[in-house]
Amino acid sequence: MTNTPDSARSELASALASAPRWQNWGRNQSFTVAQIATPASEAEVIATVQRAVAAGETVRAAGSGHSFTPIVETKDVLLDLSHFSGVVSADADTRRAIILAGTKMADVGAPLWEAGLALANQGDTDIQTMSGAIATGTKGSGLAFGNMSSMLRPVRIVNGAGDVVDITEDTPGLLHAAQVSIGLLGVMTQLELEVVPRYRLAEENRIMSFAEVAEKWDELLLNTGIFLSGGARSRVPRPCTTWVTCRRTTAW
C-alpha cells in the first residue's frame, strides 16, 4: 500500500491512540510512551535496559508520580517498579534497613517499627516511593533532621549500559550523586537506609497569627520535629493560620 500523507497521519493517530499514557498525581504532566515496563526482578530490569540501549531508546524510572515537573518523561520506555516493594531487612544494632527501591514510604513504617526502628524524617505525604523521594531530595522538616537523601547509604543501581553497580560509602562522590540523581544515574533497585530508634510523635494543633510564628520561628524550627502549616480555614479569621507541630517522644 502506498504510504500517502493521509495514511501516514492515520497510522500515527492510531499508534498514539493505542500507546500507553502516563500522568502524574497532580495532573499537570502527562505524556505518551512507547512502553511501560513493570519488571518483576533485577534480571528483567537489566534485560529491559539492554534492549532499549541496543535500540537507541531512552529509559526512565517512575515512582508514584508525585513530582510536579517533567522529570519522569520519556517517549520510549518507562519503568514501573511497583514489584520492587518491601523491607528486606532491618537491623536495630547497626540502625540500617535494606528496602526495595519502589517501596512506598507508607509501607516502610510498620516493618521498621517491628524492628524497633523508624525513619528519621519524612515528607508531607507518604505515598511517594522511597527511590523517588531520595532521587529528588524530598524533605521533611525540622532543622535537626536531614532530608530523605541523607538517609541513603549503599545503593544498587542498573546503569545506562544495563550493568549492576553497587555504590557504597567507599565512593562518597558516587554516593552523593546517587543521593539526588533525579533518575539520571540509573535505575535504583535496592536501597540501604540509615534509620533511627523508633519514637512516637506528640501532635499539637495550634492557631497562631503569622506575627507569632515569625517571632518564634527559630525556636519552632529547632525544637519541633515536624512543623506543618495548614492553609487558613474558613472559620479562622485571616491572617491566622493553623500550624501542626509534632515533637518526638519516647514515652508510649
Give the interface with ligand FAD as residue ranges (CB under 6 A). 25-26, 60-67, 71-72, 81, 101, 123-125, 128-129, 131-133, 135-136, 138-139, 182-183, 187-188
**Shortest reach from residue 8's CB to ligand FAD, in Å:** 32
Would you say how long the chain is, in residues?
A: 252
**Shorter beta-carbon distance to ligand FAD: residue 32 or 209:** 32
- Nearest distance from residue 197's CB to ligand FAD, in Å? 23
Q: What is the grid cell recorded at 232?
A: 487558613
Shortest distance (Å) from residue 191 CB to ligand FAD: 9
Do the beta carbons of residue 239 and residue 210 sit within 8 Å? yes
Contact residues for 102 (Cβ-Cβ < 8 A; gap 6+): 63, 81, 82, 83, 84, 85, 129, 130, 131
Nearest approach in angstroms of CB 80 to ligand FAD is 10
Spatial separation of the C-alpha atoms in residues 228 and 242, rounded to whole Å? 8
- CB 74 to ligand FAD: min, Å: 9
CB-neighbour burial class of residue 189 (10 A; exposed 0-12, middle 13-18, buried 19+) = buried
Closest CB to ligand FAD among residues 90, 142? 142
Q: Which is nearer to ligand FAD, 23 or 249 (CB)?
A: 23
Task: Break the chain down into helix, strand, coil percent, rounded to 5.
Answer: 25, 30, 45
Nearer to ligand FAD by Cβ, of 15 and 144: the residue is: 144
Residue number with CB closer to ligand FAD (90 or 189): 189
Phi first, then psi, for residue 227 (nearest 5°) are -135, 110
